[in-house]
Structure 1
Amino acid sequence: MPTVLITSDSHGFKDEVQQLKDQYKHKVDAMIHCGDSELDYAHPAMVDFLKVTGNCDYDPEYPEDLTVEIKGTRFFVAHGHHHNVKMTLDAITYQASEQQATIVCHGHSHLAHATKVGDQIVINPGSIRLPRGRQEETYAILSWDDHTYKINFYQLNGKEVKNLAAQYTL
């Protein structure tokens, strides 16, 4: 079963990013950071992450967005500040559709959620240090088989945030 770690909005907390990397590097098929790391693109904590720029990232090496295929599933990754994700998911899902992506990963709002929009699954892992809308800092783990996608959210201490979990069939 393919598995992907998704995190975002770490805002300079390199030790937390490194902790996630050390914990999951050999347990997942890919690691995604949805922007606002506030670290240089080549910072050791960011090595091995598929990553995009956020509105608080200033290293020009970061791409604005990224489309990548992981174990047969196409992902579109963007921070979301250029897509107005705090107001609507329309722009980001439209651009993801243009890239024929099934999974849309974004950050920016610091609000952890997973939702199905048409034939796409949109995931915001929340923030691993500065959550909004809840007390728990969060990151997400996506796993799938055939057409069933399961999203679980966790705190840095490894405790699952069960009321955020979601499962969708496409």
Structure 2
Amino acid sequence: MKIGVLSDTHRIKKCIDEAIPYLKECDLIIHAGDNFEDSKYLYSMTGIGTMAVKGNCDFENVEEELEIDIVDKKIFLCHGDNYGVKYGIKELESKAKKVGADIVIFGHTHTPLCLEKDNILYINPGSVSLPRGVNYRSFVILNIEDNQVSVEKMKL
């Protein structure tokens, strides 16, 4: 399964539009918040099922966290602000272990991260709109096949 992973798009459609050709090749799109409305836009532009959570800049009455089972992998999805991710992932690590996650997807920092620790893969796709800490805009293509996970970092 091929999953497009974005976060912190902040309603800047011209930037989101640059990622759409790559996302159209995915089986699923996951959006880690800021802005939830962009997940609806992504669906309207691609026709691909989209899952999303609420970020700190969102006001919709939607879930702040999701646990998703995909191809024998458990994904924990959140924006990250409730876990202090701007100061590290220690709180997020604790939550990941508590829920038995194989993969954690989060955003909030606008800075891409791909880190494996204690057999858990932590992914922050960065931002296609407003990157921080790097000089490029980014998202991720996550591939899960035959119990193997690979991450393709996409730069715009």
TM above 0.5, yes or no, is yes
TM-score range, shorter chain: 0.7 to 0.9
2:142 corresponds in structure 1 to 142
Which consecutive unaligned segments of at least 5 residues does structure 1 have? 157-170
Aligned length: 152
1:29, CA displacement in angstroms?
Answer: 2.7
- Secondary structure, aligned partner of 1:91: helix
Answer yes or no: is the 8 Å Cα contact 2:10–2:38 preserved in 1. Answer: no
Residue type matched to 1:4 in 2? Answer: I
Q: Relative to structure 1, is the Cα distance of residues 131 and 53 closer, same or farther in structure 2, using a 3 angstrom cutoff?
A: same
Distance in 1, matches of 2:13 and 2:43, equals 8
Aligned residues: percent identity?
A: 29
Question: In angstroms, what is the RMSD of aligned CA positions?
Answer: 2.1
2:9 corresponds in structure 1 to 10
Moved more, 140-149 or 94-103: 140-149
1:101, CA displacement in angstroms?
Answer: 1.1
Distance in 1, matches of 2:140 and 2:86, equals 19
Q: Normalization by structure 2: what TM-score?
A: 0.86
Which consecutive unaligned segments of at least 5 residues does structure 2 have? none
Which 4+ residue blocks in structure 1 deviate beyond 6 angstroms? Answer: none
Distance in 1, matches of 2:155 and 2:98, equals 33
Distance in 1, matches of 2:129 and 2:95, equals 28
Distance in 2, matches of 1:31 and 1:40, equals 11
Q: Normalization by structure 1: what TM-score?
A: 0.79
1:58 corresponds in structure 2 to 59
